[in-house]
């Protein structure tokens, strides 16, 4: 397929904010896409070169893109940078400058989707001497042959800023409409911008099938390929050891009674630990550890690998757990921040393991020796864990549990959890399935404090005076059901000038600088990657921000290296907190 066809689709999607219209446009495009191109197209529609679970990055910052545009067009880097400051979008800059390019293109030819995809994927594979120059040449090669509109979206894809507004919900439904729409009578009214379905029950069955396949694979490109082959192929799409799955998330309840209302009686209660999730995969002798952000941290936690090898029976499995730091002196659990630095550590790993030891608390299992357990009841999954895990204190244990239907007994267990240094309790419905990536009502959390928000940074401003080399005044966003990031305010407090005192301006600047995609004066836009936990005095309605809400007196509590942007607080959560505070 010619890349120009995909670029035109991007343009069409960018022109509308209507979710159903986007879904219709994508579904028509997917219908006409050949089998050999379908996975590539679906990845590129998400602005991705690799699936969600693949943590490879192309490592291209704005400066490299500017040099590539310079090489491809012959226009000076300073002029390109000036245009970037004015437009705030290097994609638009590339689109306009490609028209004006001074160098003649001797060997340019029409770009194909595969050519663009291959060149951009190679960016992630380059390493060693001369890497920067090689990356510049690969990008410039594409820009040299690119039509203006193609140049815009090539650059946006490289910078992770496609700006076409396609969320997971739209893509899921587009796959349903494209490959099963005729069977279930889906009809889109272009004039009314509405959808008509012959049989809603049948329609929901196909939506659930696509969603279930995505939950198991965490990869819409695989789901689309299977769907194109038919329902049978789609339903056979399953978990794969070594491919991480989004973890199941919990809703918050205000008290024990609400916990019982959601999870039924009796329910299982576990300590809510202040650590970070580890999803452990075993395939034969190989063990791989993933965080809830789907990052591979096997090398950073060699002792956890050994704990699992020695203490968990089975040839193949996927287990869900929490690694919690503890004090070697007192034996008490420590807060997440005490061990968070281990997640990104690349050197002195053995010393770090000795200084900041962790205990692995296992609480669920998704797959065991060839069997998918997602639809098994929670009690059965827990019983299996009790059979296969040999517990060893301060190394690997099962999460402490308590099953009851007595509110008073739960209150005692709750106090015990808090006094032991834990955050609160997890409450679980006994017969519930495991739902990857979803905040489900059959698993909830009970905490004694006002619920903080986990928000993603989407922009900032360069400081002034002694903070001139640091980013400050960080723009925060929550996420809606379609995966769109909606601004909810700015924060500048709770951040320290000295690194040893907590989350610092320097640390956030180092995390965000490679993620800058646009710059206008002192203001920058960044890829939504860095998540911070934020406390606040109140949530207010506000027309200023795209979420419709604003935080009063926000303050950064901690940097959440264990959270991915798609796991940040949702707009629904913000709305719930807003209305619950009004009732008080």
Tell me phi and psi for residue 370, to 5 degrees: 90, -5
Terminal-to-terminal C-alpha distance of the chain: 58
Distance of CA 135 to the CA centre of its chain: 26
Q: Cα angle vertex 319, ends 313, 324, to 5°?
A: 105
User: What's the pLDDT band for 497 if we cut at 50, 70, 90?
Assistant: confident
CATH 3.30.470.30 fits 252-446, yes or no: yes
pLDDT of 135-160, one tens digit each?
A: 999 999 999 999 999 999 999 999 98
Above 90 in pLDDT, residue 215?
A: no
Q: How is residue 461 written in tokens?
A: 């401003």
d(CA 175, CA 26): 8
Quick one: average pLDDT of 322-342?
84
Q: Which distant-in-sequence residues (6+ apart) come within 8 Å of 483 by Cβ?
A: 167, 168, 169, 566
Supply the pLDDT for residue 327.
Answer: 87
- Pick from 556, 545, 539: which is nearest to 491 by CA? 556
- Pick from 39, 35, 47, 36: which is nearest to 9 by CA? 47
Supply the pLDDT for residue 180.
Answer: 96
Supply the pLDDT for residue 349.
Answer: 86
- What's the Cα-to-Cα distance from 249 to each of 358, 368, 477, rounded to whole Å? 22, 21, 19
Report whether 87 contacts 66 (CB < 8 A): no
Report whether 219 contacts 51 (CB < 8 A): yes
- What's the Cα-to-Cα distance from 18 to each of 24, 129, 239, 480, rounded to whole Å? 10, 47, 33, 15
Name the percent of the chain lying above pLDDT 90. 66
d(CA 117, CA 112): 9
Supply the pLDDT for residue 102.
Answer: 57
Above 80 in pLDDT, residue 318?
A: yes
pLDDT of 46-89, one tens digit each?
A: 999 999 888 788 989 889 999 999 999 999 999 999 999 888 89
Distance of CA 514 to the CA centre of its chain: 18
Same fold, 48-159 and 252-446: no
Q: How is residue 334 written in tokens?
A: 């420590």
Segment of 136-150, 190-204, 513-527 carrying the highest mean pLDDT: 136-150
Pick the CATH number of 48-159 from 1.10.3260.10, 1.10.3720.10, 3.40.630.10, 3.30.479.30: 1.10.3260.10
Supply the pLDDT for residue 289.
Answer: 96
Report whether 111 contacts 142 (CB < 8 A): yes
Above 90 in pLDDT, residue 10?
A: yes
Quick one: average pLDDT of 544-570?
91
- Pick from 199, 169, 127, 132: which is nearest to 19 by CA? 169
d(CA 195, CA 208): 18
- Read out DSSP for 372-396? E-TTS-HHHHHHHHHHHB--BTTTE
- Read out DSSP for 461-524? EE--GGGTTSEEEEEEEEE-TTS-EEEEEEE-SS-BSSGGGSSBHHHHHHHHGGGEEEEETTEE
Quick one: average pLDDT of 27-51?
96
Residue with tokens 């934020």: 534
Supply the pLDDT for residue 441.
Answer: 79
d(CA 260, CA 442): 10
Domain boundaries 453-583, corresponding CATH code:
2.40.50.140
- Which H/E stretch holds residue 458? strand 453-462
User: What's the pLDDT band for 351 if we cut at 50, 70, 90?
Assistant: confident
Q: How is residue 568 written in tokens?
A: 């940040």
Supply the pLDDT for residue 249.
Answer: 87
Distance of CA 19 to the CA centre of its chain: 21
Question: In sequence order, what are the beta bridge partners of 365?
Answer: 319
Above 80 in pLDDT, residue 449?
A: no
Q: What is the mean pLDDT of the chain?
A: 91
The domain locations on the chain are 48-159, 252-446, 453-583
pTM (predicted TM-score): 0.77
Q: How is residue 44 written in tokens?
A: 């590129």
Quick one: average pLDDT of 324-338?
84
Using a 10 angstrom Cβ sphere, with 0-12 exposed, 13-18 middle and 19 or more buried, the burial of residue 221 is buried
- Which H/E stretch holds residue 535? strand 531-535
d(CA 509, CA 463): 11
Quick one: average pLDDT of 426-431?
97
Quick one: average pLDDT of 357-384?
96
Above 90 in pLDDT, residue 446?
A: yes
Supply the pLDDT for residue 107.
Answer: 56
Q: In the 8-state DSSP scheme, what is residue 131?
A: H
Quick one: average pLDDT of 12-30?
94
Q: Cα angle vertex 184, ends 181, 186, to 5°?
A: 50
Residue 424, phi-psi category: left (phi > 0), alpha (psi -120 to 50), beta (remainder):
left
Using a 10 angstrom Cβ sphere, with 0-12 exposed, 13-18 middle and 19 or more buried, the burial of residue 579 is exposed
User: What's the pLDDT band for 564 if we cut at 50, 70, 90?
Assistant: confident
From the list 272, 282, 490, 558, the catalytic residue is 272
Supply the pLDDT for residue 50.
Answer: 95
d(CA 165, CA 482): 9
Report whether 270 contacts 320 (CB < 8 A): no
Q: How is residue 584 written in tokens?
A: 């008080």
Give the SS3 label for residue 427.
Answer: strand
520 noted as active-site residue = no
Report whether 554 contacts 493 (CB < 8 A): yes
Supply the pLDDT for residue 583.
Answer: 59
d(CA 584, CA 577): 11
d(CA 190, CA 12): 14
Report whether 154 contacts 58 (CB < 8 A): no
- What's the alpha-carbon Rg for the chain, to the nearest Å? 25
């Amino acid at each position: 397929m010619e890349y120009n066809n995909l670029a035109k689709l991007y343009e069409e999607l960018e022109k509308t904010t209507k979710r159903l219209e986007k879904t219709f446009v994508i579904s028509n495009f997917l219908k006409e896409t050949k089998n050999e191109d379908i996975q590539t197209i679906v990845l590129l529609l998400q602005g991705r070169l690799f699936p969600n679970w693949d943590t490879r990055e192309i490592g291209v910052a704005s400066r490299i893109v500017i040099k590539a545009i310079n090489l491809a067009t012959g226009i000076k880097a300073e002029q390109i940078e000036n245009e970037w400051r004015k437009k705030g979008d290097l994609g638009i800059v590339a689109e306009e400058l490609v028209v004006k390019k001074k160098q003649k293109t001797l060997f340019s030819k029409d770009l194909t989707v595969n050519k663009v995809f291959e060149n951009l994927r190679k960016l992630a594979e380059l390493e060693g001497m001369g890497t920067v120059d090689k990356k510049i040449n690969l990008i410039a090669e594409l820009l040299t042959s690119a039509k203006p509109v193609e140049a815009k979206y090539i650059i946006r894809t490289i910078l992770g800023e496609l700006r076409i507004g396609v969320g997971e919900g739209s893509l899921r439904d587009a796959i349903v409409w494209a490959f099963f729409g005729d069977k279930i009578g889906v009809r889109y009214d272009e004039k009314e911008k509405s959808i008509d379905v012959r049989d809603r029950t049948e329609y929901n069955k196909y939506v659930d099938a696509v969603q279930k396949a995505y939950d198991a694979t965490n990869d819409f490109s695989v789901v689309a390929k299977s769907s194109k082959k038919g329902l049978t192929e789609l339903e056979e799409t399953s978990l794969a050891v070594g491919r991480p799955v989004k973890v199941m998330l919990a809703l918050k309840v205000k008290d024990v009674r609400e916990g019982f209302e959601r999870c039924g009686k009796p329910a299982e209660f576990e300590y809510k630990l202040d650590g970070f999730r580890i999803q452990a995969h075993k395939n034969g002798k190989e063990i791989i550890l993933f965080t809830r952000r789907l990052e591979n941290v096997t090398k950073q936690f060699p002792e956890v690998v050994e704990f699992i090898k020695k203490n968990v029976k089975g040839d193949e499995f996927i287990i869900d757990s929490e690694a919690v730091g503890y004090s070697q002196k007192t034996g008490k659990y420590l807060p997440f921040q005490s061990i968070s630095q281990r997640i990104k550590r690349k050197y002195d790993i053995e010393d770090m393991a000795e200084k900041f030891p962790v205990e692995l608390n296992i609480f669920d299992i998704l797959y065991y020796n060839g069997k998918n357990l997602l639809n098994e009841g929670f009690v059965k999954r827990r019983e299996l864990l009790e059979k296969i895990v040999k517990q060893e204190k301060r190394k690997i244990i099962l999460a402490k549990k308590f099953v009851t239907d007595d509110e008073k007994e739960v209150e005692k267990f709750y106090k015990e959890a808090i006094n032991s240094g834990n955050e609160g309790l997890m409450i679980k419905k006994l017969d519930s399935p495991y739902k990857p990536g979803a905040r489900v009502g059959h698993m909830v959390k009970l905490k004694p404090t006002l619920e903080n928000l986990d928000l993603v940074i989407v922009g900032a401003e360069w400081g002034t005076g002694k903070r001139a080399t640091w980013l400050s005044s960080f723009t925060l966003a929550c996420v809606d059901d379609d995966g769109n990031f909606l601004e909810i305010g700015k924060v500048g407090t709770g951040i320290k000038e000295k690194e040893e005192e907590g989350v610092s301006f320097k640390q956030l600047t180092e995390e965000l600088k490679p993620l800058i995609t646009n710059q206008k004066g002192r203001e920058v836009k960044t890829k939504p990657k860095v998540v911070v936990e934020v406390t606040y005095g109140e949530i207010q309605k506000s027309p200023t921000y795209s979420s419709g809400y604003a935080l009063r007196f926000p303050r950064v509590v901690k940097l959440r290296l264990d959270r991915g942007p798609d796991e940040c607080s949702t707009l629904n959560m913000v709305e719930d907190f807003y209305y619950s505070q009004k009732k008080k």
